[in-house]
Structure 1
Amino acid sequence: MSPRRPPRILGLGGSMRPDSTSQLLLRRAVAVLEGDGCRTALLDLRELDLPFCNGDKKEPWPSRPDVKLLREEVRAADGVILAGPEYHGTIGGALKNALDLLDFEHVEGKVFGAICALGGRSNSNALNHLRLVVRWYRAWMVPEQVAVPQARTALADGEPTDPELGARVDELARSVARAAALLRADRG
């Protein structure tokens, strides 16, 4: 019997703001998983040239290089950690658009986790909306989630000011990796 290979986890950062709280926490999650021996990848949507999804698959957007990259990275992952802002009570547009550019063949059966940064008080609107999208794709969302209220003051020099926040991000990342490994093993 061959040893099991560690899961491959993709971090998908959906904030357009440089050094955003959600992006920095996503980088922390990916680093924790690398330290645990997972194979990881990170896509920062600011670095991709993604068109707005119009749903018409007869148009050339599915063959654009960065759409192909996004789809290939999600398809290759056993699990995905989504991170982005909550704007006006829902998912930020860049992250939602990236999710809209995917299809069942890329997402179905994968394990997801989510981190959302909020400018104001904590709520779970964007996290709940991400859960709906993931469930619609027939994928799994781990029960852990990270909402970061007052996000602009949640970090100092890139590190959480509250140690509990760091611990929650670490646990979310490890939960995605554990679930992804179990689900992959169950599928054979």
Structure 2
Amino acid sequence: MSRIRTLADPDHLPALDRRYAVERPALGLGPADHPPRILLLYGSLRETSYSRLATEEAARLLRCFGAEPRIFDPSDLPFPEQVKGDDHPAVHELRELSLWSEGQVWCSPERHGQVTGLMKVEVDHLPLSIGARRPTQGRTLAVMQVSGGSQSFSSVNTLRLLGRWMRMVTIPNQSSVAMAFKEFENGRMRPSPYYDRIVDVMEELVRFTVLLRPHVDQFTDSYSERKEEAAKVEARLSLDKAL
């Protein structure tokens, strides 16, 4: 079963600049350029998961802004090292989606003042490199959280820390939805300042992703790695001469 959800277009946003949805050059993209590819992760498996519902709202907005969103379903994701070599279909799909992406959205509930274990498991399954390929480095990241009580920023602060460890470019804006059970009805988010903030965050994520796209190689090229590669080349040449 596919873990990618398909979503309908969002309701009309009265202050939306139509150029995002109609004239792609407003994003700085030419007609032949592919839409920004955004992977979205959420951190709860509850039947009524507010982090999932918020993530789905974010995906609707991303599509409206001209991006291609894909939501990963973590319902059968094992713990790291639970399966030998992490050889599990859900792990493979998560990593391939991360490699596919140019930007990501991470949305976690706040539990005991922190991100959920599920959210951490998803991030822990993303290595810094898979051979010469990097699943996260140089990608943009937007962070969001939902809370059962008053507004808090503990989860988004942790997600920012994780994004830094994963060498991602985390955008300045963020979303924290307080008393999330009051903000959703029939699977959709009510109009509110909380919803408007998610619109702002997704708009900013698309902008940063498009601006960064021509320069991604600059963010995945480092002195220490060039030095290590040069040493390997020199060692191979020395071995060839010895033979």
TM-score, normalised to structure 1's length? Answer: 0.89
Residue 124 (structure 2) aligns with:
100
SS in 2 for 1:143: coil
Is 1:114 the counterpart of 2:114? The answer is no
User: Using the alignment, how far apart are the partners of 1:61 and 1:147 within structure 2?
Assistant: 36
- SS class of match (2:143): strand
Alignment counterpart, residue 78 of structure 2, candidates 40, 46, 51: 51
- More strand per residue: 1 or 2? 1
> In 2, distance between residues paired with 1:162 and 1:87?
25
The answer for the alignment partner of 2:106 in structure 1 is 82
Q: How far is 1:63 from its partner? A: 2.3
Computing the radius of gyration over CA atoms, which structure comes out larger, 1 or 2?
A: 2
Q: Distance in 2 between matches of 1:66 and 1:74?
A: 12
Where does residue 3 of structure 2 map in the other structure? Answer: none
User: Cα distance, 1:162 vs. partner?
Assistant: 4.6
- Superposition pairs for residues 33-72 of structure 1, below 5 Å? 33-46=62-75, 49-54=76-81, 60-72=84-96
2:177 is the counterpart of 1:148: yes
Shift of residue 2 of structure 1?
Answer: 7.2
- 1:17 pairs with one of 46, 57, 61: 46
Structure of greater relative contact order (alpha carbons < 8 Å, 6+ residues apart): 1
Letter in 1 for 2:177: V
Q: Within 1, Cα distance between the matches of 2:125 and 2:34?
A: 29
Moved >6 Å (runs of 4+): none
The answer as to whether partners of 1:89 and 1:125 remain within 8 angstroms in 2 is: yes
The C-alpha deviation readout for 1:32-83, integer Å capped at 9, x for no partner, is 111222112111222xx222124x9xx7243211101000001110111111
Residue 173 (1) aligns with residue 212 (2): no
- For residues 132-185 of structure 1, the C-alpha deviation after alignment (integer angstroms, 9 at most, x for no partner) is 011011111111111111111122233333521111111111211211111112
Unmatched tracts of structure 2, length 5 or more:
1-29, 129-133, 218-243
Aligned partner letter, 1:133: L
RMSD over aligned Cα, in angstroms?
Answer: 1.9
